[in-house]
Amino acid sequence: MDPRPRARCAAGGTERLLLPGLPGPAISSSPPSSRRLGLLRAEVLTAATELLDESGDEGAVTLRAVARRVGVSAPAPCTRFDDRQEILLAVGRRSTPDRLTTG
């Protein structure tokens, strides 16, 4: 067994070797951001709704376009939604009757 000190990564539970003179794992003392507390989900839905309204085409609602509009990385919306289809379904559920049209 290696006697050198190790730190456990909270995210994956993996251990990292702590080497002398190098910084250890980052520990944040700040409170969680509001985005991590659920604001991201609402922002994603708002961005997707805006993209859909502006283009009139659900093809314009891509994960990258939504992320760009919200100002987060491309994979960030996937922390709240499984995929693009789930975002579109949530936008549809959130729509008000005056936004619905009949063909």
SS (H, E, C) 33-52: CCHHHHHHHHHHHHHHHHHH
Please state the domain count of the chain.
Answer: 1
87 has pLDDT over 90: yes
Q: Is residue 50 part of a domain?
A: yes
Give a yes or no: residue 103 inside a domain. Answer: no
Closest by Cα among 63, 54, 95, 69 to 81: 63
Q: What is the pLDDT of residues 11-49, one digit of tens each?
A: 444 455 555 555 554 444 445 555 555 688 999 999 999
Name the percent of the chain lying above pLDDT 70: 55
- Cα–Cα distance, 18 to 49 (Å, whole number): 46
Domain presence at residue 46: yes
Examine residue 67 and state whether it is found in any structural domain, yes or no: yes
Q: Is the model more confident about 82 or about 2?
A: 82
For residue 18, being part of any structural domain is answered with no
Residue 40 vs residues 50, 53, 88: alpha-carbon distances, Å:
15, 20, 15
pTM for the predicted model, two decimal places:
0.59
Is residue 29 domain-resident?
A: no
Q: CA neighbours within 13 Å on the CB side: how many for 31? A: 3
